[in-house]
Amino acid sequence: MSAIEFILAGMLAAATPFLLAALGELVVERTGVINLGIEGMMALGAAIGFIIVYHGGGHLMAFVAAGLVASMLALVFAFVSLGLHANQIAAGLAIGILGQGLSALFGKTYESLTIKGLPQLAVPFLSDLPLVGRLFVQDIIVWLSLLATFAIWACFAHSKLGLILRAVGENPKAAHSIGYPVTAIRTAAVAFGGAMAGFAGAYASTVYTPLWADGMIAGRGWIAVALVVFGTWLTGRIFVGACLFGAVSLAGLAAQASGVALPSQFLASLPYLATIIVLGVIASNRRLLKLNGVASLGEPFKPS
């Protein structure tokens, strides 16, 4: 398998943890809330998911449990930041640290243990194409993540729910004045974002790399938050960004396999270097950020 075939074959699977977490954060930020606790929620979801599969609970149960536990952690963030009107940045960082600590606590006795992942499903005919055929051989979670991407795009573009979410994020006072429960809507969005982060963590520990190691999320949550900005709060661009970062993470492995004389630490850092570069480029385009940004992002709302 050539380096290009290797990258194409694994790109979607590598992108899935980024994509699931970023889609959840997109919904959260569209309502005007910024949740920086995604890393901890992913880590906790990864630990819970792995433990359930290891004890024979099955992947479906693992994903459901990981999503529920991560959403509960997200609701703690919602209570502090939306209910008590604490600073969203500080609250998110604290919740993220809590989630990482809980994942280390629960996963301590499972260090370096492995489980069986999920089988891959091939798209007929497309999977037989030269060079790109392996792109169409993926596990069920990858295909579901693509479906989730389309569903969230359709929600924001063509549904009343998407319009309400955007209205709450753009002008919460106006949304409240016409009868929409802003705090409740934001809380529900935060819970959804937490569940998606839990799914992303469970995928990382039970499917993509079916083993448990403390710290295995390794910054994916932070990249997911950055992806929302990278995609300028647009679903399609977030998907492209997730694929880009998935491909970059695999490019380091392909380079090592090809005998490139670079330190492995440098190659492993490529996704994070790419994040910094891309965010720097996007931040320089003020017009693009203003055009697609969320007007009330990070601002507290107190009903009068």
Query: What are the tens digits of pLDDT across the range 133-171?
Result: 888 999 999 999 999 999 999 999 999 999 999 999 999
| Residue ranges making up the domain that contains 227 | 3-292
Whether the per-residue pLDDT at 269 is higher than 90: the answer is: no
Is 298 within a domain? Answer: no
Mean pLDDT, rounded, for 184-213: 96
pLDDT class of 259 with cuts at 50, 70, 90? low
pLDDT above 90: percentage of residues in the chain: 63
Cα separation of 228 and 126, whole Å? 30
Q: How far apart are CA 242 and CA 255, in angstroms?
A: 20
DSSP state, 123? P
Question: Within a domain: residue 301?
Answer: no
Q: Provide the token pair at 118.
A: 């999920």
137 — phi, psi (to 5°)?
-125, 100
| In the predicted structure, residue 282 carries a pLDDT above the cut 70 | no
Does the residue 66 lie in any domain?
Answer: yes
Query: Is position 297 within any domain?
Result: no
- Measure the CA dihedral 214/218/221/222, to 10°: 140
Could you give the angle at which helices 140-158 and 235-257 cross, rounded to 10 degrees?
A: 150
Asked if 222 contacts 39 with a C-beta cutoff of 8 angstroms, the reply is yes
In a domain, 207, yes or no: yes
Residue whose entry in the numeric block shows the structure tokens 């695999």? 250
Lowest mean pLDDT among 114-128, 231-245, 264-278: 264-278
Assess if residue 104 is contained within a domain. yes
Q: Does the pLDDT of residue 303 top 90, yes or no?
A: no
CA separation for the pair 115, 195 (Å, rounded): 22
The reply to whether 136 falls in a domain is yes
Q: Tell me the pLDDT tens digit for each residue of 49-100.
A: 999 999 999 999 999 999 999 999 999 999 999 999 999 999 999 999 999 9
**Rg of the chain (C-alpha set):** 19
Helix (H) or strand (E) run with residue 19 in it:
helix 3-30
Question: With 70 as the cut, is the pLDDT of residue 283 above it?
Answer: no
CA gap 93, 80 in Å, rounded: 12
Residues in the chain: 304
Structure tokens given for 277: 């570069």
Q: Which of 243, 283, 286 is nearest to 17 (CA)?
A: 243
| pLDDT tier for residue 295 given thresholds of 50, 70 and 90 | confident
Element (H, E) at 234: none
Per the model's pLDDT, the better-predicted residue between 273 and 89 turns out to be 89
Q: Is residue 304 part of a domain?
A: no
Helices and strands of the chain, counted as H and E runs = 13, 2
pTM for the full predicted model: 0.92
The pLDDT > 70 percentage for the chain reads: 91
The overall average pLDDT reported for the chain is 89
Q: Could you tell me the CATH number of the domain that includes residue 127?
A: 1.10.3470
State how many domains the chain has. Answer: 1
- Distance (Å, whole) CA 239 – CA 243: 6
Which pair of structure tokens corresponds to residue 254?
A: 């392909």
Contact criterion met (CB below 8 Å) for 32 and 193: no
